[in-house]
């Protein structure tokens, strides 16, 4: 017998903490920079974030409620994704403060704005990787019954990629050496990618080769 705990999210989880985002974890972090209509720099982390296509490269994240990042992208159609690494963890965390739109969140987080090549929002100079993005879709998420939720999925085409040369080893991006941080569950859990957590597995062939 499979001894499992079962619950229906709509009726409550009945546990000490909602396990949902601890289970779907650790998640990559979308550390997103945008510009307000008034030119104020905005920076915020989003861990309901991932990549969805290779050609063209598409990435997306979900805004739970109408936050400044969403409003800025609706207005300008542009954003930058910045890689959050262990040396930048505290700055990333600072940038989630619910600051009013007139606050420069690069200054709040103590990071340096660096001009992008193709889009108006700056990237985080201290981050080793950044994707300049042009918004492709904004989708208001619905329930299975078709009711609107208070969440918006923001998708963007990656139009420019910056990679610190130190992370390119013979032309191959060094994920294991990147010190990328990932979001776990609970109020404060994070993981850091370490070289010793790497394992490799080739895809199977069919029919299996014996
Ligand atoms: C690691 C981390 C991940 C987060 N992920 C999300 C997320 O996926 N969606 C969301 O709406 N808020 C998320 N938040 C909260 C936002 O960062 C926070 O609401 C922030 O103030 C939004 O900034 P903005 O109004 O400038 O866009 C996260 C916070 C942290 C620290």
pLDDT, tens digit, for every residue of 111-149? 999 999 999 999 999 999 999 999 999 999 999 999 999
- CATH architecture of the domain with residue range 13-197: Roll (2.30)
Closest atom of ligand 1 to CA, residue 84: 1
Closest residue by CA, ligand 1 atom 6: 46
For the cut 70, the answer to whether the pLDDT of residue 1 exceeds it is: no
Going from N- to C-terminal start, the domains of the chain cover 13-197
- The pLDDT tens digits for 78-97 are 999 999 999 999 999 999 99
The pLDDT value recorded for residue 101 is: 87
Give the contacts of 131 (CB within 8 A, at least 6 positions apart). Answer: 57, 59, 80, 81, 158, 160, 161, 162
Residue in the block written with tokens 């965390």: 93
Tokens of 148: 């609107």
Which residue among 20, 45, 74 has the greatest number of ligand 1 atoms within 8 angstroms of its CB, and so is best to mutate? 45
What tens digit of pLDDT does each residue of 67-76 get?
999 999 999 9
**pLDDT tens by residue, 43-64:** 999 999 999 999 999 999 999 9
pLDDT band, residue 2 (cuts 50/70/90): confident
Per-residue model confidence (pLDDT) at position 208: 83
Residue 168 burial (CB count, 10 A): 11
136 vs 27: CA distance, rounded Å? 22
pTM for this prediction: 0.96
**Which residues, at least 6 apart from 128, have a Cβ–Cβ distance to it below 8 Å?**
83, 85, 163, 164, 166, 167, 178
State in Å: Cα 165 to ligand 1 middle: 29
**Nearest atom within ligand 1 for CA of residue 32:** 27
Q: Residue 184 has what pLDDT?
A: 97
Distance in angstroms (rounded) separating the CA atoms of residues 62 and 96:
14
Enumerate residues lining ligand 1, CB below 6 A.
29, 42, 44-48, 61-64, 67-69, 93, 96, 98, 183
């Amino acid at each position: 017998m499979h001894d499992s705990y079962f619950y229906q999210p709509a009726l409550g989880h009945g546990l000490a903490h909602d396990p949902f985002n601890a289970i779907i974890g650790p998640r990559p972090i979308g550390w997103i920079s945008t510009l307000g209509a008034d030119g104020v720099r905005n920076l915020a982390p989003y861990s309901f974030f991932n990549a969805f296509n290779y050609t063209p490269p598409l990435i997306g994240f979900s805004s739970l409620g109408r936050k400044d990042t969403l409003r800025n992208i609706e207005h300008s159609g542009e954003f930058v994704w910045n890689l959050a690494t262990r040396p930048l963890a505290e700055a990333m965390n600072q940038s989630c403060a619910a600051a009013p739109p007139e606050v420069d969140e690069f200054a709040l987080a103590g990071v340096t704005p660096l001009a992008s090549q193709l889009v108006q929002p700056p990237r985080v100079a201290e981050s080793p990787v950044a994707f300049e993005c042009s918004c492709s879709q904004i989708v208001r998420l619905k329930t299975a019954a078709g009711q609107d939720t208070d969440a918006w999925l923001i998708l963007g085409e990656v139009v420019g990629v910056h990679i610190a040369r130190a992370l390119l080893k013979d032309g191959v991006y060094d994920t294991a050496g990147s010190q990328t941080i990932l979001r776990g569950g609970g109020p404060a859990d994070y993981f850091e990618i370490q070289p010793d957590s790497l394992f490799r597995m080739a895809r199977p062939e069919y029919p299996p080769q014996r």
